[in-house]
A and B are shown apart, each in its own frame.
Chain A
Amino acid sequence: MTVFLPIAHALVARGDLPIPAWLFAWGASIVLIVSFFALSAAWREPRFEEDHWRPLGAGLSRALLALPTQILCGVTGVFLLGVSIYAGLKGTEAPDRNFALTFLFVTAWLGIPLFSVIFGDVFRPLNPWRAVGRAVGGAFTAVAGQRPAHLTYPEALGRWPAAVGLLAVVWLEVVYGASGGVAVGLSPHAAGVAALVYSFYTLAMMAVFGVEKWCQTGEVFSVYFGMFSELGSFSVKNGRLGRRRPLAAATHWATVPGSTAMVIASIATTSYDGAQEGVLNDAIVQVFEWLTDAGLGLTASLRLSSTIFMLICFVGVGLIYMIGVRGMATVGDAPSVKKLRMGFAHTLIPIAFAYLVAHYFSLFVFQEQAQFTYLLSDPLGTATTDLFGTASGGIDFKVLSANAIWYVQVGALVIGHVVGLTLAHDRATAYWGDYRQAARSQYWMLAVMVAFTCFGLYLLSESNG
């Protein structure tokens, strides 16, 4: 019986080398030194509770937010989704030669978080489902002479549908693609079908609850990319484009139920993807063997054992955070556990972003070369089209040395750690009137952050892909 998990991600042609022991030691040491320095951080008044939003030039706002621009962006989003679905359904089944997988899981899934941090919520105008939903809603209003009626969204659900959806999307990407006890990666056809199913589901939910409401709560990609955009400087308020203090908007992101689950799901799924080939490999294979011995089929066994460990990662990451929250609650004059849990959830967004960069940076750099050469000119991978004359292009794997990848990985984790600590310290000064109590509460968040960062370093030091 063959069991192996090395290519859960079907697109990895060059896997990252584990970071060497000396870099691991340096990274962990820097994290500890930075952390103890952070304990004596000087500021005693919160600095990020207000985002100090200021409008940018009116001309720029008008040009970027005008209806024709919105329509152009929406059409672009719908077109790209359409090409992806079509390529997935009709194109080659070779994962690396098909536009669908690289576009959906690398260019969009990994690229948009990066652009969101830098430029703000870029997915909102490009969101194909929002565009279709708004167009249909507009047409309905024009024909019926009244706005479409919607059910009231149960506010208690909050962002939970998006958090569950995030787990489902990553599950599809890294767990579902199993066959005969071997992790072969998601096939382009399955990705195309999944995108189609998700489109129907999303449009149905938008029809029931309203386009904007569903984008704020249930639409996985809006909520997920929007979460990262809260870290950055640019945003739209009251129809005006503006600048705000970096990181400040994030402090008011997790005020809706399910937000904590969302950010924990993000960290957990990246952790799982990094761990499944290294740290967790033996354990997954063990459970797989138990399941096959119990009479389950090979494919079902591998999917089920992988699913179990993905959920364990979710619970584990959640537990680490909850230990920090419970710990803070023991400090004098602490707010309620619930307020603390939601009040510090945003401090994990930089950690989630750092995990993404650390685990997928090299894949993104390599795969984007494919995206803008042969995948652009030959999206179906049939070798019969050459739309832009770049079909014969390829990936230059030498653009990144192993050392460059290691430094980016460790750098991302250390920076994410520092930003997370900064946000946590700032929130503590807002919650505890007494500065000394605030500082004491932050020993707990410090332990949480050190745990996440060192765990991230540990994952990188084991084999991963």
Chain B
Amino acid sequence: MKSNTTRVVVGIAVVAVAVVLLIVLKDDGKSASEEVEGTSFDAPAKTDKASTGNEKGQGQPTIPTIVIKNGEPVGGIAELTYNEGDRIRFKVDSDVSEEIHVHGYDLMKDVEAGGSVSFDFPATIEGVFEAELEGRGEQIAELTVNP
């Protein structure tokens, strides 16, 4: 009887500790990922001039550029984070002729081999969306829109 009670108390303590740990770890995970977002993408120098959809861009941070080599994004899938109401802007330099599809927002734009294409649209839908090379089914970016 005694030992059972002890076991139960220990069990509940373990669970409580686990929950607290999860919450703490969760916070760590959040701040870590925010740091990653902060360092996200340094656009190559040519971006500012080459970009077409840049009229409203005065004083804006540089537009992230995703470089496609051999049909794959250089440096892996680009993680881009926005808040609802922001404008989602990014540019794709591609060495292959492809159609770029932003899911959820359902935007399609063609890009020539060796060419580039810019996206600029308002972040109206919250959630996680992928942008992919439609023909290859290759994901190139993950767009996160926070509320």
Contact = CB atoms under 8 A, between A and B. Distances in A.
Interface in A329-359: 330-332
Contact of A6 (B19, B125, B139): B139
B147 A21 contact: no
Interface stretch (A79-87, A251-259, A442-450): A442-450
Contacts of A444: 8, 11
The 7 closest A-B pairs by CB, nearest first: A15-B128, A402-B126, A443-B8, A14-B127, A14-B104, A13-B103, A402-B147
Interface string A408-442: 00000000000000000000000000000000100
A7 B128 contact: no
Contacts of A20: 30
Given A327-B7, A327-B11, A397-B104, A454 B127 contact: no
A16 B19 contact: no
A389 to B, nearest CB: 21
B57 to A, nearest CB: 26
Contacts of B1: 332
A171 to B, nearest CB: 21
B23 A28 contact: yes
B113 interface: no
A13 B11 contact: no
Nearest to B142: A6
A398 B126 CA distance: 8
Interface residues of A, number: 40
Contact of B137 (A13, A184, A398, A454): A184
11 contacts: A13-B129, A17-B126, A17-B146, A21-B27, A24-B26, A32-B16, A330-B7, A443-B12, A444-B11, A447-B15, A450-B19
A16 B77 CA distance: 18
Nearest to A185: B137
A16 B128 contact: yes
Interface stretch (A136-144, A160-168, A188-196, A457-465): A457-465
B128 A398 contact: no
B93 interface: no
A233 B81 CA distance: 45
A14 B7 contact: no
A13 to B, nearest CB: 4
A2 interface: yes
Nearest to A406: B147
A54 B60 CA distance: 69
Contacts of B95: none
Contact of A21 (B23, B139, B144): B23
Contacts of B127: 14-17, 397, 402
A264 B144 CA distance: 33
Interface string B14-32: 1110110011001101100
A14 B125 contact: yes
Contact of A401 (B139, B144, B147): B147
A25 interface: yes
B106 interface: yes
A440 B26 CA distance: 32
A451 interface: yes
B103 A14 contact: yes
A4 interface: yes
B22 A28 contact: yes
Interface in B104-147: 104, 106, 124-130, 137-139, 142, 144, 146-147
B128 A454 contact: no
Contacts of B12: 443, 446-447
A382 interface: no
B129 A401 contact: no
A394 interface: yes
